[in-house]
Amino acid sequence: MRVIAPQAMEKLVHLLSDDGYEVVGPTVREGAIVYDRLGGMDDLPIGRGDDHGQGHYRLRDRGDKALFGYVVGPHSWKKYLFPPRETLVRVLRRDDGGFETAPGEAPPPRRAFIGVRPCELAAIAVQDRVFLGQAVRDRAYGARRDGVFLVAVNCAEPGGTCFCTSMGTGPRAHGGFDLALTEVIDGDGHFLVAEAGSEAGGRLLERLAPREATEAERTAAERVWREAPARMGRSMRGDAREVLARSLEHPRWEETAARCLSCANCTLVCPTCFCAQIEERPDLEGKVSERVRSWDSCFNGEHSYVIGGPHRTTVAARYRQWLTHKLSTWHAQFGSSGCVGCGRCITWCPVGIDITEEVAAIGADTGGSGP
Amino acid sequence: MRELLEILQGQSFFDGLTEAQLKLVAAFAALRSFEAGRYLFREHEPADAFYLIRSGRVSLESLLPGRQPGTFMTLGGGDMLGWSWLIPPYRWHYDARALEPVHTAHFDAAALRERMDHDPVLGYALHKRFTMLIVERLQAARLQHLDIYASGEGDVGLGG
Amino acid sequence: MSALAAELQGHEPMAPEPWRILAVRREVADGEVFTWTLEPLSGRAATARPGQFNMLYLFGVGEVAISVSAIEDDGAVVHTIRAVGSVTRAMQGLRTGEVVGVRGPFGTAWPVADAKGRDLVLAAGGIGLAPLRPVVHAVLARRQDFGRVLLCYGARSPRDLIFRDELDEWQVRRELDLRVTVDRGTADWKGDVGVVTQLIDRGGFDGRNALAMVCGPEVMMRFSALSLHRRGVAPERTFVSMERSMRCALGFCGHCQIGPHFVCRDGPVFPYPVMEPAFRVNEL
């Protein structure tokens, strides 16, 4: 087991920058942990933690120097891989009435993600299957995704809305990263256990001059991995895929819709939601028109627009679409659940709708919930 | 008589009736033809018949004040026409007009009705078949009423 | 990585290819429904199959999914469009020679080959005749391969009937049993009045050995499937073409989902049993 000192994060950021990466990671802004450019380890949310509940999120001081002592914020890495708005292609009108096409944007920078949670690694894998695993590859996603350097950080203190153990995605990463860190704060000790997940990760780790863990450090790290799963605030019980598939006309949809504001917060914070609209943006001269892709949500009326109006007119139908897609039909589409158990949709729902509670309620009536 | 029996035997509407029942029904039938433009019956007239249309097309129409007669349905070869003879006050609810030369088997429904009252087995068998016919027409009327091709606003879709 | 793979990786799937309008044809009196014959400027394009669709693009306005309404031997593709939204209304003003964008073809096709040796029932409602027309062409090209062929076509009123010249031609050729009906007749309409399902109810085919393809408004497809079932056509041999909001046609944008299915990727042509939940559950 290799360990590095917390201060090695400074060097890690610089090494990656020197290697040509744009280094992004967690930082505090406007009362939340968000992902943005990191200049060094001082940009990390040192000593900050966060409390999560239904429709509740607050930063707090931890009283220590933890670098990764929070859970997750409203951002996810999809803001870099599948940005909220991007120009896919520019259409250039020619004088003869025809047109040609040109790239929508300059090639994206190569990025290094620092502080990727195991559930977020799983979310990236889910979106990889959506954008890169179908018959046609999404060029824009692929261009951003290829060559990303992933520094994962395992969860020591899952939050109040977390349920990654139920979804099999955490709290410890078992692959899909270049480098994985586990932060251990134990009495006076504060160190990071580092595991390489790729050759590039191994090479970077060597440049950080890691040392072998002492017996005490090994024991402390193992305790973190052992105890974290029990600290989840939520759990998804029962076979959600099956329960929802046979409950398309359950009265619970109407009941929850009465509370749901159809605000789309859940889909915006969800690290796997991929719905997008395509907008045509011509310039004033009529010479160039951009095809712009931006995040959409199944909670928007326009989302299901067909001739004659929106197909899903009710909030109940939209909420059902979201939940059944995320937890049930996603399996048939992409071979996994669309939920990674990060809990963001619970935390950021303004009325505190909790998907684990919804599945349990529907399952209880249909005999499908677990013990 | 034999000709009528053969005509009835070829009609899916009468499928399942016994030969004896078919013979009975055939006894109430007669071949009748209508020139183009002629009415088979008019609204409010006593409904004392029903028809099997053997060939030609028939228009079912309702008079709309101030407008041209509205055709709400057309029937053709193989179709059954008329069930008002089953229900009091036994009056037609619409006009039936031949659009082209129409050949029918005409059934003396008033007499058959009396027969059915005394032969509930036959009565039930015929009622069942007419109920199916009524349901089929009711479903069609409902679908027609929905105006399913009405175009709304929108830009997507296979048809435009 | 091979050169081809590299080229494909760099290819933007949302970039339309320029195609030229070779011919424009009005299908209804006011031109609200019109047909374009298109050819690729590059001279090459993947051949569409009956039932598939293209994304048609108009510079500066946007893109819309339109099924192919005929496939010509020389690679030209025909689309029949109803002007009902901002993109299609803008398309209505285009003339022969102008250039539009095309992406495609996308989606599943009608199972024409599976109908060989069987009776074939085609039920079309409204502009739903357009996606079925290539099937009629394919069948007429190899008429002897099929049993009885019945085309039931219903429209709102006589003025809404499309492909009228071709309907007359089919009527004259008598190679298929063409039945046309309108929901609302007019004084000069000599044809049938009534809903399209009644044309199916009248039979004239061997239900147990028939394959059916249905395209029209969802309600029409639902009731047609019931009528077909009553006539003995197995639900799994009944095919429907679904309409949902297709924005990318690649399975990325998420708009066209019906349960687990992306209409753009897994449809638009589905076996009826696959779509049965969508017909049964409101707003699925």
* Domain ranges, ordered by start, for chain C: 3-106, 113-280
> Which of the four pLDDT bands, split at 50, 70 and 90, describes residue C270?
very high
> And the tokens for C164?
């009228």
Return the DSSP state at A213: P
- Asked if residue A211 and residue A143 are part of one domain, the reply reads yes
CA distance linking residue B158 with residue B144, whole number of Å: 23
- Percentage of residues in chain C having pLDDT higher than 70: 97
Instruction: Supply angle C-alpha C64, C68, C69, rounded to 5.
Output: 120
Q: What is the mean pLDDT of chain A?
A: 94
Question: B134 lies in a domain?
Answer: yes
Our count of domains for chain A comes to 2
pLDDT at B32: 96
Residue B156 is predicted with a pLDDT of: 38
**DSSP alpha helix (H) spans, C26-142:** 86-92, 129-141
Chain A residue with CA closest to B156: the answer is A306
Whether residue C227 is predicted with pLDDT greater than 70 in this model: the reply is yes
Nearest to C41 among A98, A298, A320 (CB): A98
**Residues of chain A numbered 107-166 and touching chain C (CB < 8 Å):** 130-131, 134-140, 142
CA torsion A282-A283-A289-A290 (nearest 10°) is -90
Which CATH number fits the domain that encloses residue B79? 2.60.120.10
Whether residue B153 is predicted with pLDDT greater than 80 in this model: the reply is no
Q: Look up residue C32 and give its amino acid.
A: E
Tell me the one-letter amino acid at C37: T
CATH fold label, C3-106 = Elongation Factor Tu (Ef-tu); domain 3 (2.40.30)
How confident is the model over A191-213, as pLDDT tens digits? 999 999 999 999 999 999 999 99
Beta bridge partners of A310: A305
Question: What value does the mean pLDDT take over residues A236-248?
Answer: 93
Q: What is the DSSP string of A167-200?
A: HT--SS--SS-SEEEEEEEETTEEEEEEEE-SHH
Q: A47 and A78 share a domain?
A: yes
Calpha distance B32→B41 (Å, rounded): 13
Tell me whether residue A99 is in a domain: no
Q: CB distance B157–C194 less than 8 Å?
A: no
Cβ pair C59:A325 closer than 8 A: no
- In the predicted model, is pLDDT for residue B152 greater than 80? no
Q: Give the 3-state secondary structure of C231-243.
A: CCCCHHHEEEECC
Task: Report the distance separating Cα C102 and Cα C16, nearest Å.
Answer: 5
Whether residue A281 is contained in a domain is answered as yes
Say yes or no: B157 contacts chain A, CB-CB below 8 A.
yes
Instruction: Give the pLDDT band (50/70/90) at residue A305.
Output: confident
Lowest mean pLDDT among A66-80, A93-107, A298-312, A337-351: A298-312
**Residues B106, B4: Cα–Cα separation, whole Å:** 10
Domain assignment present for residue A275? The answer is yes
Q: Residue A305: which of B150, B151, B156 has the nearest Cβ?
A: B156
Contact list in B for residue A309 (CB cut-off 8 A) is 152-154
Chain C neighbours, 3+ Cβ pairs < 8 A:
A, B
Is residue B69 pLDDT above 80, yes or no? no
At C178-213, the pLDDT tens digits run: 999 999 888 888 899 999 999 998 888 999 999 999
- Distance spanning both ends of chain C, measured CA to CA: 42
Same structural domain, A219 and A261:
no
CA-nearest residue of chain C to B78? C202
What fold is seen in the domain C113-280? Rossmann fold (3.40.50)
Q: Which pLDDT value is given to residue A328?
A: 96
Residue A38 makes CB contacts below 8 A (sequence gap 6+) with: A13, A23, A24, A25, A27, A44, A114
Tell whether A343 is covered by a domain: yes
Tell me if A371 is assigned to some domain. no
Whether residue A116 is contained in a domain is answered as yes
Same domain, A347 and A308: yes
Domain that holds residue A309: 240-286+296-366
Q: pLDDT tens across A165-176, in order?
A: 999 999 999 999
Give the model confidence (pLDDT) of A91-127 as tens digits: 999 999 899 999 999 999 999 999 999 999 999 999 9
The pLDDT assigned to A291 comes to: 97
Give the ranges where B57-119 is alpha helix by DSSP (H): 109-118
C92-121 pLDDT tens trace: 999 999 999 999 999 999 999 999 999 999
Looking at residue A288, its pLDDT comes to: 97
Whether A99 and chain B come into contact, CB under 8 Å, resolves to no
Would B75 be classed as within a structural domain?
Answer: yes
Span A20-44, average pLDDT? 97
DSSP A23: E
What DSSP state is assigned to residue B91? B
Check pLDDT > 90 for residue A2.
yes
- B68 to chain C, any CB pair closer than 8 A? The answer is yes
Write phi, then psi, for A293 (nearest 5 degrees): -100, 130
CB-facing half-sphere around the CA of C255: CA atoms within 13 A: 27
Same domain, residue pair A135 and A205: yes
Q: Using an 8 Å Cβ cutoff, are A294 and A302 in contact?
A: no
Is the Cβ pair C194, B144 closer than 8 Å? yes
- The amino acid occupying position B45 is E
Of A88, A98, A289, the CB nearest to C99: A98
Asked whether residue B31 is domain-assigned, the answer is yes
Q: What pLDDT sits at residue B147?
A: 82
How does pLDDT run across A313-345, given as a tens digit for each residue?
A: 899 999 999 999 999 999 999 999 999 999 999
Probe site for chain C from B100, B146, B153, B155 (most C CB atoms < 10 A) = B155
With respect to residue B105, please indicate whether it lies within any of the assigned structural domains. yes
By the CB < 8 Å criterion, does B59 face chain C? Answer: yes
The pLDDT assigned to C7 comes to: 53
Residue C165: its H or E element: helix C164-173
Whether residue B155 and residue C87 make contact (CB cut-off 8 A), yes or no, is yes
Chain B CB contacts of A308 below 8 Å:
150-154
- Per-residue pLDDT, C8: 53
> What is the number of structural domains in chain B?
1
Q: List the end-to-end C-alpha distance of chain B, in Å, as a whole number.
A: 56
Q: So what's the pLDDT on residue A371?
A: 41
Residue B50's domain comprises: 2-143
* Partner residue opposite B153 with nearest CB, options C84, C160, C202: C84
Output the average pLDDT for chain C.
92
**What is the pLDDT, as a whole number, of residue B99?**
94
Q: Is residue B160 part of a domain?
A: no
